[in-house]
């Protein structure tokens, strides 16, 4: 089974309250000089061969459901 | 390279992107005249946002000025602050004051429903906070396209989750509002967020920057590149071709930062270390600095390099225009600085001195040691263009008014009447809104007395005496479309009646005037008529307008929304223990209708649901009768005569009766006047359905005096709504269908692609 990975990140200009909270928590725990932005990763198992059509399908899925393209960017790549 | 003032003087003929920033040619010309040179790109950024319709009220100013003729007093005494402040402040007695305001966040909520609605809640809460008040509750009036329209399935859940997510995290109860569906809001939903706060009289604070040498402090969140879609014209296209890509115009809110900001700000006020304070909303630092400076007696010097940034690629133009959320500005005397920073540190709130108040009257802003802004702040904040836009009564209005409901088919027998009754009650605009309001916390803080689906939300303010407030928001835009003057008065009357029905005395209003394009003379006519209607109405009712908001350009393509002048009414109740609920309470109680029913079916819910018809003339409001009705309700509540009281509005007696029964589980046996159809569906204003023990009927009758009142039936425990001689309908089955309308519509719709 082939796998496609979609990584979604808040756009660089957009405030990321979760990442900010993690950054603050790390600082309180003594990890200095670390700044975090938090996104999400989707692993999509694909039946059969990975073809350009399959990538296109995964990209459409990312664009319409996995990412909120108003405030998030995404990348689609083949895993492995 | 930075466009400094010196550079602007040296290069007077540079072409500037004023049109892309939304300025008109004559507006750009007047900026050049004011400055007697071309503006720098930073100045252009400031003027363009501050002179936008949203910030300058350039199309509405001449009309809003008419509100000034209203007395600045409520039935409970003089206003402590009125229009022009960030929010109006009303004295409610016992040294308590209440501040409340409603504001629109319509367009951002269409682009990104969750964050648009969330930041709408956050913005209005900061307005309340800036008055020195503790925010204690929210309310939200939401309007969407048809419930079965595909995009409603994207916009509605997103907006509701955003309102709930932000408000719940802040720990503010959401005590009511509206959810309305109409095709005209498709592609332009309305999100009107109301916030209410409470303070002691001595804690009132007005924003100004006074005293040379005092420091200007920016505190709260860092400044990022959000909400500056427009400024990218300056950044990327004109001055630096390799600059950042076009910035998104969306802002993301962080309610936990806002919560810290609330606690921090209230402690700063209590410690007496701030001279002036202002929230940063639309137009960000441009707005806060120019407004603070022009409200004071001096000038201001700001060093933009000191603004803490989340993204250090931001250009000075972008920093000035950024609408990053959860930020406030304060003016602080030097000797209070240490204490100020100590309090901010305690709440983990970042605070930075970014400038100071100066002698003279200029707002000067530096960037990298060079002056990029040198303006009279008054010209930025208050001397924007003022338009006397052309107005014209729409030529389609006569035909619309002539197309009455007289020719529409009416139910001919009992079963048909039952079918119409059922269809109106379960229709999207009349159905159960729990799917929406169950996503909101309505009990947090422990002082919520009433919340949706009651006629108004109610909060206890004083735990000792039970002193409390009630709030209702209303607008039936179908009536406003047919006649904006009368429609606005009907919105006012409905909000007034909703507050009175719960036992509170209506005292003051805030308004949110949502209209189409001001460049359309028909829209300007609607706007002007609605304002006149509100003013005349408020004069009679004795309720001042304490402030509010205008939202123009609400349209999809060339189609303007129905004019929607939302009224938020504040009421005061001496003891919340006297509050009256809308649902039936006891079997055997008499059901009485207060007020007179006329043949008012034009623009009604019946006409909409059964015939998809809008036309004719709205009901005639009689505000003196509303006042008399309110007096009866207030006295009846004080004397504990009533078991329930429910306002009649959309859907008339049919909907009021069905709700009173469905929410309680009781049934009712009704004997209605001969024309049962009109009795059930007419929307004559000035009516309230009450229930009370038979033993108290004569006392109520005495209270009513000349006010028409008629016994219509009795509360039963047989689980049926029986209209004698017509039909009987099972309450539980009706309730199931009524509760299913929204969930069913949203679940069966496919999620539309973004």
Structure confidence at residue B256 (pLDDT): 94
For residue B65, tell me if it sits in a domain.
Answer: no
For residue B51, tell me if it sits in a domain.
Answer: no
Structure confidence at residue B747 (pLDDT): 81
d(CA B34, CA B582): 58
For residue B751, tell me if it sits in a domain.
Answer: no
The minimum CA-CA distance between B753 and chain A, rounded to whole Å, is 5
For residue B622, tell me if it sits in a domain.
Answer: yes
Residue B131 backbone zone (phi > 0: left; psi -120 to 50: alpha; other: beta):
alpha
pLDDT tier at B38, thresholds 50, 70, 90? very high
Per-residue pLDDT reduced to its tens digit, B401-421: 999 999 999 999 999 999 999
Per-residue pLDDT reduced to its tens digit, B231-282: 544 543 333 334 444 556 788 999 999 999 999 999 999 999 998 888 898 8
Structure confidence at residue B229 (pLDDT): 57
Per-residue pLDDT reduced to its tens digit, B636-665: 999 999 999 999 999 999 999 999 999 999
For residue B231, tell me if it sits in a domain.
Answer: yes
Per-residue pLDDT reduced to its tens digit, B301-338: 999 999 999 888 889 999 999 888 999 999 999 999 99
Is the same domain home to B346 and B444? no
Q: Which domains does chain A have, with CATH numbers?
A: 2-78 (3.30.1280.10)
The values of phi and psi at residue B505, to 5°, are -85, 120
Q: Please report the number of interchain residue pairs, chain A to chain B, with beta-carbon separation below 8 angstroms.
A: 53
Helices (H), B98-151: 106-111, 113-130
For residue B29, tell me if it sits in a domain.
Answer: no
Is the same domain home to B150 and B236? no
Q: Which residues form the domain of B561?
A: 77-93+102-202+395-745
User: Which member of A15, A20, A69 has the closest CB to residue B754?
Assistant: A69
Q: Convert B577-588 to b/e letters by CB count within 10 Å (16 or more is b).
A: ebbbbbbbbeee
- Per-position DSSP letters for B499-524, written without gaps between them: HHHTTPEEEEEEEEEE-S-TTSHHHH
Structure confidence at residue B752 (pLDDT): 40
Is the same domain home to B351 and B401? no
Query: With an 8 Å Cβ cutoff, are A15 and B111 in contact?
Result: no
Is the same domain home to B543 and B568? yes
Is the same domain home to B181 and B215? no
pLDDT tier at B209, thresholds 50, 70, 90? low
List chain A residues with CB under 8 Å of B311: 12-13
Residue where a domain stops, chosen among B381, B416, B447: B381
Is the same domain home to B236 and B154? no
Domain count across chain B = 2
Is the same domain home to B556 and B622? yes
Query: With an 8 Å Cβ cutoff, are A17 and B754 in contact?
Result: no
Q: Is the confidence metric ipTM above 0.90 for this complex?
A: no
CATH number of residue B176's parent domain? 3.30.1330.10
The minimum CA-CA distance between A67 and chain B, rounded to whole Å, is 10
The minimum CA-CA distance between A78 and chain B, rounded to whole Å, is 24
Is the same domain home to B183 and B331? no
For residue B754, tell me if it sits in a domain.
Answer: no
Structure confidence at residue B531 (pLDDT): 97
For residue B39, tell me if it sits in a domain.
Answer: no
3-state class (DSSP) for residue B344: helix
Is the same domain home to B304 and B183? no
Structure confidence at residue B243 (pLDDT): 40
Going by C-alpha positions, the residue among B28, B57, B54, B131 that lies closest to residue B382 is B57
CB B703 within 8 A of CB B628: no
Is the same domain home to B314 and B459? no
Preceding amide of B453 cis, omega within 30: yes
| Beta pairing partners, B450 | B458
List chain A residues with CB under 8 Å of B256: 17, 21
Is the same domain home to B362 and B427? no
Per-residue pLDDT reduced to its tens digit, B681-738: 999 999 999 999 999 999 999 999 999 999 999 999 999 999 999 999 999 999 999 9
Which residues fall within 8 angstroms of residue B128, CB to CB, at 6 or more apart?
Answer: B87, B99, B100, B101, B135, B195, B196, B197
Torsion of CA B158, B159, B165, B166, to 10 degrees: 140
Structure confidence at residue B237 (pLDDT): 39
List chain A residues with CB under 8 Å of B112: 68, 70-71
CATH number of residue B334's parent domain? 3.90.650.10
Is the same domain home to B433 and B521? yes
């Amino acid at each position: 089974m082939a796998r496609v990975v979609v990584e979604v990140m808040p756009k660089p200009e957009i405030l990321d309250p979760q990442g900010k909270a993690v950054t603050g928590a790390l600082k309180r725990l003594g990890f200095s000089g670390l700044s975090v932005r938090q996104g999400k990763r989707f692993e999509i198992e694909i039946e059969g061969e990975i073809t350009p059509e399959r990538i296109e399908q995964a990209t459409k899925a990312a664009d319409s459901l996995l990412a909120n393209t108003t405030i998030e960017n995404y990348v689609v790549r083949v895993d492995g | 390279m930075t466009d400094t003032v010196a550079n602007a003087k040296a290069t007077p003929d540079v072409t500037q992107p004023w049109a892309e920033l939304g300025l008109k040619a004559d507006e750009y010309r007047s900026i050049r005249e004011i400055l007697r040179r071309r503006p720098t790109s930073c100045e252009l950024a400031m003027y363009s946002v501050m002179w936008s319709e949203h910030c300058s009220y350039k199309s509405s100013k001449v009309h809003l000025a008419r509100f000034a003729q209203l007395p600045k007093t409520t039935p409970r005494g003089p206003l402590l602050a009125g229009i022009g402040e960030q929010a109006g402040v009303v004295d409610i007695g016992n040294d308590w004051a209440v501040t409340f305001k409603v504001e629109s966040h319509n367009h951002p909520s269409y682009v990104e429903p969750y964050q648009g609605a969330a930041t709408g809640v956050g913005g209005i809460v900061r307005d309340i906070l800036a008055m020195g008040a503790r925010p204690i509750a929210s309310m939200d009036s939401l309007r969407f396209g048809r419930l079965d329209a595909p995009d409603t399935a994207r916009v509605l859940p997103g907006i509701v989750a955003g309102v709930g997510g932000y408000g719940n995290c802040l720990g503010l109860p959401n005590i009511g509002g509206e959810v309305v569906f109409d095709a005209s809001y498709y592609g332009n939903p309305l999100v009107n967020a109301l916030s209410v706060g409470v303070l002691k009289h001595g804690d009132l604070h007005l924003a100004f920057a006074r005293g040379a040498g005092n420091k200007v402090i920016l505190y709260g969140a860092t400044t990022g590149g959000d909400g500056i879609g427009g400024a990218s014209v300056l950044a990327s296209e004109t001055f630096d071709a390799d600059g950042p890509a076009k910035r998104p115009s969306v802002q993301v809110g962080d309610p936990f930062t806002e919560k810290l900001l609330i606690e921090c700000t209230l402690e700063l006020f209590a410690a007496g270390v701030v001279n002036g304070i202002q929230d940063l909303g639309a137009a960000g630092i441009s707005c806060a600095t120019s407004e603070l400076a022009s409200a004071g007696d001096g000038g201001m010097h700001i060093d933009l390099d000191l603004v803490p940034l989340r993204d250090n690629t931001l250009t000075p133009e972008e920093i000035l225009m950024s609408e990053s959320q959860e930020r406030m500005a304060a003016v602080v005397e030097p000797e209070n600085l240490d204490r100020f920073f100590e309090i901010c540190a305690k709440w983990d709130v970042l605070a930075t001195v970014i400038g100071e108040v100066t002698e003279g009257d200029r707002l000067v802003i530096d960037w990298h040691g060079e002056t990029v802004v040198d303006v009279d702040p008054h010209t930025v904040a208050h001397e924007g263009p003022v338009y006397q836009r052309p107005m014209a009564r729409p030529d389609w209005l006569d035909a619309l008014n002539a197309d009455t409901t007289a020719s529409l088919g009416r139910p001919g027998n009992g079963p048909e009447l039952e079918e119409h009754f059922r269809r109106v009650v379960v229709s999207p605009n009349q159905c159960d809104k729990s799917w929406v309001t169950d996503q909101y916390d309505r009990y947090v803080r422990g002082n919520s007395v009433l919340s949706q689906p009651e006629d108004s939300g109610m909060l206890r303010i004083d735990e000792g005496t039970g002193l409390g407030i009630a709030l209702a928001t209303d607008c039936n835009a179908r009536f406003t479309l047919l006649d904006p003057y009368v429609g606005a008065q009907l919105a006012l009357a409905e909000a007034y009646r909703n507050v009175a029905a719960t036992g509170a005395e209506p005292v003051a209003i805030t308004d949110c005037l949502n209209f189409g394009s001001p460049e359309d003379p028909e829209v300007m006519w609607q706007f002007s008529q609605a304002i006149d209607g509100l003013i005349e109405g408020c004069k009679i009712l004795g309720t001042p307008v304490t402030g509010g908001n205008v939202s123009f350009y609400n349209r999809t393509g060339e189609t303007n929304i129905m004019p929607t002048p939302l009224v938020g009414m504040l009421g005061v109740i001496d003891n919340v223990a006297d509050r009256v609920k809308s649902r039936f309470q006891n079997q055997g109680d008499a059901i009485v209708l207060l007020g007179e029913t006329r043949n008012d079916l034009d623009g009604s819910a019946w006409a909409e649901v059964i015939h998809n018809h809008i036309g004719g003339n709205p009901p005639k409001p009689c505000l003196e009768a509303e006042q008399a009705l309110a007096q009866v309700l207030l006295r009846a509540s004080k004397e504990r005569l009533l078991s329930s009281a429910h306002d009649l509005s959309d859907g008339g007696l049919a909907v009021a009766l069905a709700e009173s029964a469905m929410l309680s589980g009781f049934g009712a046996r009704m004997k209605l006047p001969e024309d049962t159809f009109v009795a059930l569906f007419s929307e004559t204003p000035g009516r309230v359905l009450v229930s009370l023990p038979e033993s108290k009927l004569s006392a109520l009758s005495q209270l009513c005096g000349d006010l028409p009142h008629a016994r219509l039936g009795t509360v039963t425990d047989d689980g049926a709504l029986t209209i004698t001689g017509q039909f009987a309908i099972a309450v539980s089955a009706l309730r199931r269908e009524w509760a299913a309308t929204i969930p069913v519509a949203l679940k069966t719709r496919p999620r539309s692609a973004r």
